[in-house]
Structure 1
Amino acid sequence: MAISDLQLPAGVVTHSLSNSTQLANKLAADVADALGSAIAEKGRATLVVSGGRSPVAFFEALARQPLQWSSVVVSLADERWVPTTHADSNEGLVRRHLLQGPAAAAQMFGLYSSAASLEAAAVAADQALEDLPPIDVLVLGMGDDGHTASLFPNSPNLLEALAPDAERRCLPMLAPSVPHQRLTMTLALLATAKRTLLAIQGQSKLSTLAQALEPDERALMPVRAFLQPPLEIYWCA
C-alpha cells in the first residue's frame, strides 16, 4: 500500500519519499522554508514539535538549515513529566538533536516544571503558554494506536483535550506505556498552527492512518482531529 492509495480529504497534501533520510531532509527543508517566510513577514517564527525517537533525523537535518535561528521559538506539542535532563525528556531530545550549532540560538519554550503534581505542572504550562507566539509550523507524529502529541485514546482528560473550544492550552494526560504521565497541548491550541505537518514511516503507520480515515469517534484515534486541510502528510515506506 502507498499513501496515494488512501482516500484523503480534499486539500490534504501528501509527500511520498523513498526512505527515512529523504523524508527527514524534505521535511527539514520545508519547515525551514516556512520558518524563514514567517521571519521575513513578521520578524520571528514559532515551531512546535513532538518528541519520541522518530523525529531525531529530522531535528538533525533541520539544525543544518540556514536560518536566522535567533528569531525562532521552539516549543513542544507534548512532554513527558520528567526533568529535562532525563533520557525520556522531549525537551532534552530537542536540545541534543536540534538546538546545536547555529540552531542553539533559538529560544526553547518548554512545558516541564518540577511542580508538586502532574496537574500543577499542567496548570503552570497552561499559564506559560499564554506567552507563546502564534504557531507558524506544527510537526506531529502518530502512534500505532492513533495518538498524536500525547492525545492518547482512553486517557481521562482526552475529551476535554480534543474539545475545539477548550479553555485550557495544556492538560495532563496518561500514556499506556512508561512513563505514564504526560503534558500535552490541547487541540484548541494545536489547531491554531498556520501550517500542520504529519510525518509517518512504514506500512504499519500507513495502515493506522487508513484506519483513522474511517468515519468514527475522534476519541478512539485522536489523530482524526488533524486529518483535514491544511494538513500535509510526509511518508516513506
Structure 2
Amino acid sequence: MNRHVEILADQFALIERSRKIVVDLIHEAVNASDRFTIALSGGSTPKNLYAALANESLPWSKIHVFWGDERYVPATHQDSNQLMARQAWLDKIEIPASNIHPMNTTGADPQQDAQRYEVELREFFQKPQGFPAFDLILLGMGDDGHTASLFPHTDALSVGDRLITVGNKDGQPRLTFSVPLINQANYVLFIVAGANKRPALKQVFATQGDEMQYPSRLIQPQGELLWLLDQAAAAEL
C-alpha cells in the first residue's frame, strides 16, 4: 500500500503541515494542468486548516472546490459542511462563485440530489464513464472509523458503480463520495487528531481487519495516501 504516515506534536503542528501540503499541491497542479480540484471534509480540524488557507495568496481563479460529503440540511444550517468552509475560508478569498461546487441538499430526495451531483462531476471532469481523479481529497476519521459519510455497516460502503451515494448516520441521510471515487484521487490526505481516535486508528492500521466495521480501511487510492496524525491520536500505533 502506498500509505505514508506523519505524526505531529499537536494540532497546531498538524494544521501547519497540512496547510503546507495543500499549498504545494495547488502550485504543482496549476503548473501542470492550469487547474486544481479539491474535495473538502467537515469537522473542527479541517476548519482550522481552511482558516489558515484563507491567509494564503494563491491562484484562486484556477482552484475548484467540491465537497466529499454533506449532511442533508440547508446550506444555512449550522451543521452544513458548506457553511463551515465558506465562513472559515471561501467567503474570505477572491474565488469565482462558479469555482465553488457544493452538494445540493435543499430537495426532498437525497437519492435524486446524489445523482445531480454525480452529473455535475461528470460534466465538469468531462468523464461520462468511469471515475474522475481529483487532485486532492481531504478526509477526517471519526472515532468509529468512518470517513466522509461512509459509516460502519451501511449500504454506502458497497456502492461500486456510482460517484455519489447516500450515507446514513443514525437514520439521517447524507450525500457522500463513494469509495471508488475517493480511491481514484491523485492524493488523499487524512487529518486526524485527538486521543479518542486511538482505538479506531489501531484497527484501521492493523494488517488484517474488518472494512465494514472500520470503513477508513477501504481508502486505498491509486495516487498518494498520507495520514497526518497528532501525537494524541497516534499514541498506540
User: TM class by shorter-chain length?
Assistant: 0.7 to 0.9
Partner of 2:148: 149
Is there any run of 5+ residues in structure 2 with no aligned partner, and where? 126-132, 233-237
1:67 maps onto 2:58 in alignment? yes
- Corresponding residue number in structure 1 for 2:137: 138
What do the CA deviations read for 1:19-57 (whole angstroms, capped 9, x no partner)?
111211110111111011100111110011111222111
Please tell me whether the aligned partners of residues 86 and 92 of structure 1 are also in contact (alpha carbons under 8 angstroms). yes
When residues 20 and 105 of structure 1 are mapped into structure 2, their CA distance, relative to the original with a 3 A threshold, is: farther
- Whole-Å separation in 1 of the counterparts to 2:102 and 2:137: 15
Equivalent in the alignment of 2:161: 167
Map of 1:188 onto structure 2:
180
Superposition deviation, residue 204 in structure 1: 2.5
The structure 1 residue matched to 2:212, chosen from 203, 219, 224, is 219
Which amino acid is the alignment partner of residue 72 of structure 2? Answer: W
Letter in 1 for 2:191: A
Once the two structures are superposed, residues 48-71 of structure 1 have per-residue CA deviations (whole angstroms, 9 ceiling, x without a partner) of 111122211111112222210110
Does the Cα contact within 8 Å between 2:183 and 2:220 map onto a contact in 1? no
- The answer to whether the 8 Å contact 2:8/2:228 transfers is yes
Question: Is 1:44 matched up with 2:35?
Answer: yes
Provide the C-alpha distance between the structure 1 equivalents of 2:96 and 2:18, rounded to a whole number of angstroms: 21
Instruction: Please give the alpha-carbon distance, in whole angstroms, between the structure 1 residues aligned to 2:102 and 2:34.
Output: 21
Distance 1:88 1:108, change over 3 A: same
Q: Is 1:82–1:112's contact at 8 Å kept on the other side of the alignment?
A: no
1:230 aligns with 2:224: yes
Q: Which residue of 1 aligns with 2:74?
A: 83
**1:176 aligned to which of 165, 170, 173:** 170
Q: Which residue of 2 aligns with 1:98?
A: 89
TM-score by length of 1: 0.86
Q: CA RMSD in A?
A: 1.9
Identity among equivalent positions (%) equals 29
Bigger Cα displacement from structure 2, 112-121 vs 146-155: 112-121
Q: How many positions carry a matched residue from both structures?
A: 221
2-structure distance, mates of 1:103, 1:159: 39
Q: CA deviation at 1:86?
A: 0.8
Counterpart Cα distance in 2 of 1:89 and 1:20 = 23
- Give yes or no for contact 1:99–1:105 (8 Å, CA) kept in 2: no
Q: Output the CA distance in 2 between the equivalents of 1:104 and 1:43.
A: 15
Alignment of 1:123-134 (within 5 A): 123-133=115-125, 134=133
